[in-house]
Amino acid sequence: PVLQFHNTRGEHVRLSADRSTARRVDSFCKGIAFSQRTVRPNEKVYLRVAECSTSWNGVLRIGFTSCNPASFSGVLPKYACPDLTSRPGFWGKALPERYVESGVLFSFHFTASGDVMLNVNGQDKGVFLTGVDARTPLWIMVDIYGNTTAVQFADLLVSMNALNLNRGPHQIPSLPLPPIPGSMAGHHHLQQQQLQTNNTIQPPAPPAVLQNFPPPPPLRHYRHHSFQPLTFHPRTHGINIRMGSDCRTAVRHDAEFCNGYVLSSRPISPGESWVVQIVQTESIYVGGMGFGFTTCNPASLSSTDLPDDADQLLDRPEYWVISKDVAHGPILGDEIEFHLSHSGEVTMMRNRGSATLLMHVDVSLPLWAIFDVYGSTRAVRLLGTISPPQSVPEPPAVIYQAPPRMSPPRPQQQQQQPIYQSIGSATHMMQPTIPAGVLSSGTASSYVETLTQSLNCQTASGGASSECTVCYERSVDCVLYSCGHMCLCYDCALTLYHGGRTAGGQGLCPICRAPIRDVIRAYRS
């Protein structure tokens, strides 16, 4: 059913005749409103900021409540936060002011685990709120507060979300607001228009198996190659994916841009190369296909375990490494070859071009490949593995790409050569004998090859003192990211790093005063 506002509302709120729009008509507060029905877990709520003011401070608050709005008696309080959120059964939070402008389209939903996910103009912002009791029926709660003066449930605007993903908020065209009581002209026409639009843009849930999909484009770069069978996992995939009957073609639903995950049906063996073809693109979306590996057997997952934002996979207990947008600006028919070397290097070649180093992984673990059919990449076909495996260019010919996000692998046994460990986000490094990336779940990343050269150079030149420059008791045994200075012991570095974050800022390097974004521990043989 179409979302509407409940008649129970704040003293200063007026509803349009069709109850799709709520407007605060006086002051800056008493703007609380609720949905007329409950929403389901993972049901996306689209809410457009219809009007803004510059006369006040603060902006829109959104959230959920387990209290039926019909049960309220008397006058609602002035504020949702904290007047309602301090009570049991209410969860809400102010939106970041930088996002709340006239015309901006928000979508949000709660998960079965009680997290509220936020999206702004088609860009995922991750977890917005936690602790919601998803076991109970939940109504939407909004507080039209401060400089936000009108909001609109945007079922009729879902198509606008797609058309404007790559535009800034000031470029989004503003639609006329439905009239509120006392200004009824054109209301009947608007209702008819809204019903027609809803019938157009809300297709039924897609079937799990793809049917009547057009034939893929012919191969250009691999037409003379023979492929060994490799398929996508038949059961575990994103909720917006339809799978071909042969489990080789995956198509994302045309009304969505995310949650298009597919995983390989078996672990990938070191030395294997496999090819994926782009068989459909969607130019109205931004971003492209993501790729990575996991030790999590897809058979142990369900579609609801897979989040809209791939970064949230890193919060899972298994080992995940994800690189977003590896095939930026996809073109219909692009043929992308991935290769996993015996040393753990993962490279990618697009249309038989130069190899790009994507990541390093721990090949001692069983690794399933994961593809995120995201954004402008709408459909892919897994051609299979190449036999024999294709050779990988020597390291000098490899183009380094921005390092992927990864979750911690299992701790490695101590090696004779230097091992580096990213401490700031509790991420350990694998394969110390190759130029592997030291990666954390934040943005900090470094390469062992660079750190090894830095360590050897500083030690030889005396640039790295043997004593910590803070305590003058313990030896220097870590590197500060991103300046690269080796001047602190591990304990003092952690104290500076965490102390700065606790204070709301960042710790600073004692030598160059650069912000400490991560602490990388170094072990010398």
CATH number, domain with residue 9:
2.60.120.920
Q: Are residues 492 and 466 in the same domain?
A: yes
DSSP string, 312-346: GGGGSSS-EEEES-TT-S--TT-EEEEEE-TTSEE
Q: Regarding predicted confidence, which is higher, 92 or 206?
A: 92
pLDDT score, position 189: 38
Give the residue carrying structure tokens 């994507």. Answer: 358
Using the predicted structure, report yes or no on whether residue 37 has a pLDDT greater than 80: yes
Residues 322 and 406 sit within 8 Å (Cβ to Cβ): yes
Number of domains in the chain: 3
Average confidence (pLDDT) over 406-431: 41
Band of residue 155 on the pLDDT scale cut at 50, 70, 90: low
Q: Are residues 373 and 324 in the same domain?
A: yes
C-alpha Rg value of the chain to the nearest Å? 26
Nearest to 442 by CA among 406, 478, 483, 480: 406
Q: Regarding predicted confidence, which is higher, 251 or 206?
A: 251
Residue 426's SS3 state is: coil
Residues 297 and 266 sit within 8 Å (Cβ to Cβ): no
Q: Are residues 380 and 423 in the same domain?
A: no
AA identity, residue 517: R
Residues 497 and 478 sit within 8 Å (Cβ to Cβ): no
Using the predicted structure, report yes or no on whether residue 113 has a pLDDT greater than 70: yes
Q: Are residues 396 and 496 in the same domain?
A: no
CA torsion angle for 510, 432, 491, 402 (degrees, to 10)? 50
pLDDT score, position 434: 34
The arrangement of strands across the sheet holding 123-129 comes to 13-15, 21-24, 148-153, 45-52, 105-110, 116-120, 123-129
For the entire predicted model, the pTM comes to 0.44
Residues 6 and 70 sit within 8 Å (Cβ to Cβ): yes
Q: What is the DSSP letter of 511?
A: T
Last residue within a domain, chosen from 406, 436, 465: 406
Using the predicted structure, report yes or no on whether residue 175 has a pLDDT greater than 60: no
pLDDT score, position 248: 93
H or E element: which one contains 497?
helix 490-502
Structure tokens that stand for 318 in this block: 């298994």
Least confident interval from 418-432, 451-465, 484-498:
418-432
The rounded percent of the chain whose pLDDT value lies above 70 is 72
Q: Are residues 490 and 377 in the same domain?
A: no
Q: Are residues 458 and 385 in the same domain?
A: no
222 falls within a domain: no
pLDDT score, position 501: 58
- The span from the CA of 24 to the CA of 26, in Å, is 6
pLDDT, the chain, mean: 77
Q: Are residues 401 and 432 in the same domain?
A: no
Average confidence (pLDDT) over 304-332: 88
Last residue within a domain, chosen from 406, 438, 462: 406
Using the predicted structure, report yes or no on whether residue 100 has a pLDDT greater than 60: yes
- The span from the CA of 27 to the CA of 13, in Å, is 10
218 falls within a domain: no
Residue 280 φ then ψ, to 5°: -160, 140
CATH code, 431: 3.30.40.10
Q: Are residues 240 and 372 in the same domain?
A: yes
Strands 405-406 and 399-400: unpaired
Give the residue carrying structure tokens 């339809």. Answer: 242
Structure tokens that stand for 361 in this block: 């992984």
Digit-coded pLDDT (tens) for 230-251: 999 999 999 999 999 899 999 9
Last residue within a domain, chosen from 406, 435, 451: 406
Digit-coded pLDDT (tens) for 458-483: 444 444 457 888 888 888 888 888 77
Digit-coded pLDDT (tens) for 212-233: 567 888 999 998 888 999 999 9
434 falls within a domain: yes
Q: Are residues 271 and 151 in the same domain?
A: no
Residue range(s) defining the domain that contains residue 153:
5-201
173 falls within a domain: yes
Residue 70 φ then ψ, to 5°: -65, -15
Residue 494's SS3 state is: helix
Q: What is the DSSP letter of 69?
A: G
CB 256: neighbour CB atoms within 10 A?
Answer: 21
Q: Are residues 189 and 241 in the same domain?
A: no
Least confident interval from 50-59, 203-212, 484-493:
203-212
